[in-house]
């Protein structure tokens, strides 16, 4: 699929990495991968598939990069893909056919226009879903509302996994590293499952990144059955929201500390007094308040 991406004002096109977590998705990948636009790289993160997921991906897209996840769960798969990505922009893309490849330029345009994060939403004008049930929609609404109250966010679709962001923000999100050993009891680490989208959204908001919601239409899965369990995964998401609310003050403190360190480093390099703010990626970050303000 050929797709023209928007050109940023500086005329330098960012390199795009599409990260595709997959487990036993051979039949879907055969359809989905050829529809992706030409980008810097497509990374398939295989979750110990027992079908021909990897072989099929390599057959239909010979230059695809294959990474094998180190534990289990979608969250671990995405973290492995983020670590492996070499592009400037990372696009999270599901392998089951529910994400529309034609929407990728919308996400890229939001980022090249100044956003740090382009977050897909099924519940803004132009968005929608062919797949979500009334029960899941109600649960998503409740979790979304709770997050907005506790974290002061304005999300419309907390649990949707079609998102894109600049690779440079990944270290600040403090996701579980790929080389962390699995739990001895066989259970997943917090953050290794479907709750990963909520963790990302909570931490992105806590760190003050500029977020733009992008309308997205969720399509039906083409083949197979989803591994998502609305009840058990819903409780994992609820636990994450409460934990991230408690974590937020320490995250803000770490951000202020990193700003101060950046300011001191800059002062040492120029022999000037250290300012109380630093300009990072085109934003004024106040070391006292952790505030973010765009600057010219």
**Average pLDDT of 36-43?**
98
pLDDT at 88: 98
Give the DSSP letter string of 217-246.
Answer: EEPPPSSS-----HHHHHHHHHHHHHHHHH
Query: Where is pLDDT greater, at 42 or 241?
Result: 42
Full-model pTM: 0.79
pLDDT tens-place string over residues 70-99: 999 999 999 999 999 999 999 999 999 999
pLDDT at 111: 98
Tell me what percent of the residues of the chain surpass a pLDDT of 70. 78
Contact 43, 243 (CB under 8 A): no
Distance of CA 196 to the CA centre of its chain: 8
Query: Where is pLDDT greater, at 250 or 43?
Result: 43
Mean pLDDT over all residues of the chain?
Answer: 85
pLDDT at 257: 60
Distance separating alpha carbons of residues 100 and 177, to the nearest angstrom:
29
CA-nearest of 166, 81, 73 to 118 is 166
Q: Place 289 in a pLDDT band, splitting at 50, 70 and 90.
A: very low
**Going from the N-terminus, what domains does the chain have, and what CATH number goes with each?**
16-250 (3.90.550.10)
Query: Where is pLDDT greater, at 143 or 214?
Result: 214
pLDDT tens-place string over residues 154-178: 999 988 889 999 999 999 999 999 9
């Amino acid at each position: 699929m050929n797709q023209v991406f928007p050109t940023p004002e500086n005329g330098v096109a960012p390199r795009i990495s599409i990260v595709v977590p997959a487990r036993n998705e051979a039949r879907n990948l055969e359809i989905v991968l050829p529809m992706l636009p030409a980008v810097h790289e497509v990374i398939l993160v295989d979750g110990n598939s027992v079908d021909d997921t990897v072989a099929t991906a390599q057959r239909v897209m010979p230059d695809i990069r294959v990474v094998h996840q180190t534990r289990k769960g979608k969250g671990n798969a995405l973290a492995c893909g983020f670590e492996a990505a070499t592009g400037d922009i990372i696009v999270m893309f599901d392998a089951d056919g529910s994400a529309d490849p034609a929407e990728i330029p919308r996400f890229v345009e939001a980022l090249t226009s100044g956003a740090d994060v382009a977050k897909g939403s099924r519940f803004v004008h132009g968005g929608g879903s062919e797949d979500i049930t009334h029960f899941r929609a109600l649960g998503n609404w409740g979790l979304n509302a709770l997050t907005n109250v506790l974290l002061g966010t304005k999300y419309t679709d907390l649990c949707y996994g079609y998102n894109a962001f600049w690779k440079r923000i990944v270290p600040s999100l403090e996701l579980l590293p790929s080389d962390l050993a699995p739990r001895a009891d066989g259970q997943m680490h917090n953050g290794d499952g479907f709750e990963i989208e909520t963790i990302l959204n909570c931490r992105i908001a806590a760190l003050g990144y500029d977020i733009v919601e992008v309308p997205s239409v969720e399509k039906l899965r083409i083949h197979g059955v989803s591994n998502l369990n609305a009840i058990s995964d819903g409780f994992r998401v609820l636990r994450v929201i409460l934990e991230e609310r408690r974590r937020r003050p320490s995250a803000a403190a770490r951000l202020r500390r990193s700003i101060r360190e950046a300011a001191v480093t800059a002062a040492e390099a120029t022999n000037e007094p250290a300012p109380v703010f630093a300009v990072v990626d085109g934003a004024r970050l106040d070391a006292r308040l952790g505030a973010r303000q765009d600057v010219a």
